[in-house]
Chain A
């Protein structure tokens, strides 16, 4: 019973997006039809248990151009790029790189399924843009507040303080302007290449 409930039928021909296949292949520099569904990647993946589609199914969905299903999937955001899949692919596909390209595309399309993970990454980069290096002490409270998870890692705070491992002043390197300019040029480049959707 449970298995049947999890099966969702795809109207493959109706929803096949050939441009999407090309876009993924270009971004990842991988030839997706090399995948013959041996399942080595999924067998190696320690994150399969939190995925909605195991990684070999994501590869198959890319071959079938199922853009919407993939870009809304949980799997692409819970992949940690640990490289087990890439290491064990018998066809030398860089599977982890394909997953990374899918994350990048899902950001561009504004379809990120795991909002708190995106939020954490965004706050991290804001910290880098502002100070040149990441300010760990400042990052966590801002994330916990914005993600509405005020108790995140609160149990660790006293222990970290006791060890004197937290700095209360942001790093502020001399080249922080140069670093923030890299971000500005990146934002300008992205606007030029493609109108932002997210």
Chain B
């Protein structure tokens, strides 16, 4: 007697309920992922500008405000999504190393602290706390740089942990590319953060060509990494049944995000970052390209979050994805050989049934 083959649920007119549950987040949670990423990315931009000697105060100031603002906005969304928002502070009852959500809560809190500090320095620099030169010096000097350095790992964490958080679930599509989601989200955080800074800083009087080029070059680096990581994450697992079934729509969406949200702004960023001397019309055009590229990068980053989230939901609703991911053979690293019940014999060869010692 043998075990029957895995059921083909499409044969039933009413399939069984999915074996796992999808996350029941509100629609705006991917926006939080995006905002948190912008916050982290703009922090890195501020720190890089500060540490590499560019010292464009307009750029740094914009980035500092952006990182705090998007962080607060994102956190508000997070709290709104809770089933019991008034209990948001329960997140800080414990620390749990195996809970990405717990780590994320603490990371957000700590990052919120440095972001707040930086914003205070920036407020001092802007003279909102009284016209005291000392405050501005602190902000521009070592203290500002120290805060930036201290915030770097936290920003990197905030920019990437959301990907790890998705990966640390039983959702097949996320689990299948577990190691790649954190880096992917981080690269997207950086690209969106830089793009946001570029956009915001350029809304008023211009940043100046050099600062723009700096941003464009960093943007290019981030977008290149994002593209590469997206491709890598896509290759990390064989297409899941839900993905195979969703082709070509899903493929088109992915291609659109990769092209319009990453490749196109990458091209624009390279174009902007490469040129040293521009004049007149060219400069006007360059500015327009600059804004267009940043907008596309921001949109691409948001679209990426929705795409990844949506793919996760779909795969959670597709039983075969779970069968695939939990029955070995998907080439995921660290899998031990399949020793499943497929091999059950009524009685073992020696006629007895031995239990392992």
A and B part of one assembly: no
Chain A residues with a Cβ under 8 A of chain B: none
